[in-house]
Chains A and B, each alone.
Chain A
Amino acid sequence: MEALIYAYAVPEAIAQALKLAPLRRKAQINGATYYLLSSQDLQAYGIDRAIENGAVRMGLDEARQMFNHK
Chain B
Amino acid sequence: MPIVYDTAQVVYSALSVSLSMDVLGGSMTQRRSMGGTFDPDRALFPLQLRPKLWVSDPDGIIPEGDQTNALVECKWYIGTDDTGTRIYGTEDDYDLGAYGEITIYANVLPTSPLDLFFTCSYIDPRNQANVIVKTWRVTLTSSQSAEIALSVTLDTADKDAFSPFKTTSSKRTITAQLHNGGDDVDDSDAYYSWYVLDKELKRYRDIDPETDLWYISGIGTKALTIDRAYVGSERLMCVGGILYSEDPTVPAPPPAPATTLSNGKKYTPPYGNYTARKMFKTFRFYGQYGEDVKLTKGKIIKADTSVVKAEAKVTNTRGNVANPSKYFDIRHFTTHKYAGAAQVTVGYGNEVTVNANECSRNPQDPTVFGCEIRRLSEFRGITINGAYLLDSNGKKICAQVPDE
Contact = CB atoms under 8 A, between A and B. Distances in A.
A36 B25 contact: no
A2 B25 CA distance: 25
A64 B48 CA distance: 20
A3 B43 contact: no
A20 B25 contact: yes
B145 A23 contact: no
B180 A38 contact: no
A7 interface: yes
A40 B34 contact: no
A40 B43 contact: no
B45 A60 contact: no
B249 interface: no
Contact of B46 (A7, A23, A60, A64): A23
12 contacts: A1-B180, A5-B33, A19-B24, A20-B24, A20-B25, A24-B45, A38-B26, A38-B39, A40-B39, A41-B26, A41-B40, A41-B45
B357 interface: no
B27 A40 contact: yes
B185 interface: yes
Interface in A20-70: 20, 23-25, 36-41, 60, 63-64, 67, 69-70
A2 B45 contact: no
B37 interface: yes
Given A39-B40, A64-B44, 4 more contacts: A1-B183, A2-B35, A23-B48, A38-B40
Nearest to A41: B45
Contacts of A2: 33-35, 37, 145, 147, 180-181, 183
A7 B37 CA distance: 12
A69 B11 CA distance: 55
Contact of A37 (B33, B35, B45, B181): B45
A23 B44 contact: no
B183 A5 contact: no
Contacts of B46: 23
B81 interface: no
Contacts of B33: 2-3, 5
Interface string B79-114: 000000000000000000000000100000000000
Contact of B183 (A3, A40, A69, A70): A3
Interface of B: 24-27, 33-35, 37, 39-41, 43-46, 48, 103, 145, 147, 180-181, 183, 185-186, 189, 242
Contacts of B24: 19-20, 23
A41 B147 CA distance: 23
Contacts of A64: 44
Chain A to chain B: the 9 pairs with minimum beta-carbon distance, closest first: A38-B40, A23-B25, A38-B45, A5-B39, A2-B33, A2-B147, A1-B35, A40-B40, A2-B34
B189 A1 contact: yes
A1 B185 contact: yes
A3 B37 contact: no
Contacts of B34: 1-2
Given A1-B186, A23-B48, A69-B43, A40 B26 contact: yes
A35 to B, nearest CB: 11
A38 B42 CA distance: 10
A39 B181 CA distance: 22
A36 B44 contact: yes
Given A2-B35, A2-B183, A3-B147, A69 B44 contact: yes
A55 to B, nearest CB: 14
Nearest to A69: B44
B65 to A, nearest CB: 20
Contacts of B145: 2
Contacts of B39: 5, 38-40
Nearest to B43: A69
Contacts of A37: 45
B178 to A, nearest CB: 9
A24 B189 contact: no
Contacts of B103: 23
Contacts of A7: 44-45
A41 B25 contact: yes
Given A5-B39, A23-B24, A63 B183 contact: no
